Structure formats: C-alpha cells, structure tokens
Amino acid sequence: MSGDLEDRLAALEDEVKRLRARESIMNTFNQYLYGADTGFEEDILDTYSEDAILDVLNFPPDGVDMHFEGREAIAPLYERYRSRRSLIAGGHTTSNISIVVDESASTATLSAYFTTTRAVGVQGGRYEGLLQLEDDGRWRFKELSIISAWGWTTDVETVSDPVDAGRSRFGGRSAAGS
C-alpha cells in the first residue's frame, strides 16, 4: 500500500511540475506579445535565451524570410517596436495555443495562431517554438518561428488616438509580468 501511495504522490508531483511549467511558459509568451504591442523591447528580448534561433518567414511588407542566431543578433529586428512613449495602439490576438511540456519539465513546444491589428492593416500567421527552463528559473525561447501567412493593408479613418500605456492598470505589460 505504501509503495502505491508513494508512486501516486510522485506522479502527482510530476504533474504539478508540468502544470507550473505550462503556466510559466504562458507568462513568457504573454510577455513577448505585450512587449511587442506596447513597445517594451527589453521585455521581448528577455523571452529569448542567449543562443536562441529565430526564423521569421514571409515578413511583411515584402515577404522576406529572415534567420537570426543569438539574442544579440535578434535585437535589431525588435528596435522598431521600441517606444520612447509606450502606447497601446493595436495588438496581437492569439488562439489555438498549444503547449506541450516534456516529462522532465525542462523543455516544451508552443504553437499558436496570431492576428495582429494596426492602423495600417491586419496580418495573421503562426508562432511555433521550442522553450527551455533556464538556470534562473525562467522559461525562454530556444527556437522560435514566426510565420506570416497573410496580411492586408487598409485605408482607415482615425476614430481615436492610441492610449498612453501609463493609463493602463499594468502599465501596458501583461498581468503576469512586472
């Protein structure tokens, strides 16, 4: 009986570890999305491991494919997201998010559909990534592919200006982050 209980407790502990990992991975993904949407370049870069690989396929507006190796090489791509004054001016919508954590809770895969909306257009595609648990206890992308599947530009009439991020409860960052 006690052996059975010990086995069940060990299995439960492993399951809790994987569930905690899944929640932490979701926090990392949200940190990435909010960082891109609100202009926190440092938040975006912090979601990548030092030696991360990033592939951006069919990048708008001209459908360029890009490959980066290492956080330092990735950084210039996100300079355009840096904001001297953080604004909530559009954003990502993600759906069909799938996170699969390995048995040891040290690596995981993530996939999700995305749509981005901006005043100039709409775009959609997929995120596909491999994350790892790092020594500091944070989950970061070891590999990420951003696949832009479609996009449209629009002629729009402005009905309101972007909102300063300071007016939001969390300063433009996700509720999970600080």
The C-alpha atoms of residue 120 and residue 147 are separated, in whole angstroms, by 19
Residue 89: DSSP 8-state = -
Instruction: Single out the residue of 110, 112, 147 nearest to residue 23, CA to CA.
Output: 110
pTM for the model: 0.88
Please identify, in words, the CATH class of the domain defined by 2-167: alpha beta
Average pLDDT, the chain: 89
Q: Is 82 helix (H, G, I), strand (E, B) or coil?
A: coil
The C-alpha atoms of residue 148 and residue 78 are separated, in whole angstroms, by 16
Q: Report the greatest alpha carbon distance in the chain.
A: 71
Half-sphere exposure of 79 (CA within 13 A, CB side): 6
Q: pLDDT tens, 79-123?
A: 876 666 677 767 889 999 999 999 999 999 999 999 998 777 889
Give the start-to-end residue ranges of the domains of the chain: 2-167
Q: pLDDT tens, 14-59?
A: 999 999 999 999 999 999 999 888 888 899 999 999 999 999 999 8
